[in-house]
Amino acid sequence: MAILDILNYPDPRLHTVAAPVKTVDARIRRLVDDMAETMYAAPGIGLAATQVNVHEQVIVIDTSEDKRDLKVFINPRIVNACGKQQYEEGCLSVPGVYETVTRAESITVEALGHDGQPFTLDAEGLLAVCIQHEMDHLLGKVFVEYLSPLKQSRIKNKMKKRQRDR
C-alpha cells in the first residue's frame, strides 16, 4: 500500500468529473487500499479518488472512533434524500478550513463495494454528510463552493498563500 498525494484547493484537477468504474479489478482494489491508508494517515474520515488525482468514482469513508469501519463506495448513487441538516465540514483538500454546509439529513445510497458487489445503505447524521461531501468531489465540486463568493475568495487566497509559503 502507498500514501498518495492529496490535491489542494484551488487545484483545477479537483473540478474534474469522475468517470464510472467499468470493472472492480485488482487495480481498483489497490486504489481503494491506498486511498484508505492515505485517509487514515492524513488523518481524515473520507476521501474521494478525485482528491488523489484519479478521476474514477471511488470513495472511502470511516467515521468510526476506532478506525475499524472502512466503507467503500464505487460508482455511488444517491437514490433517496430527505430532511436538511447543517454540519461543520472540513476537507483534506482544504486543510485547516471548517465551514457550515447544509445537506440532506438522511440518504439512501447504492454502490459497489470493495468486492465489486452491489449494496444499498441508509445513512444519516455524519455518515450522510460525509457521503454527500465525497460524492461532490466525484462531480468536481469542493465544499467551499457552497459558501458565499466572498468566503470562497478568502479561502482561495489563503490556500494560494499557503502553497507559496511552502
Q: Of 57, 35, 46, 75, which is closest to residue 140 (Cα–Cα)?
A: 57
Per the annotation, the verdict on 134 as an active-site residue is yes
Residue type at position 90: G
Q: Are 104 and 132 in contact (CB under 8 A)?
A: yes
99, 105, 134, 145: the catalytic one is: 134
Q: CA 156, 158, 159, 161 torsion: positive or negative?
A: positive
Q: Which of left, alpha, beta for 29 (phi over 0: left; psi -120 to 50: alpha)?
A: alpha
Active site residues: 134
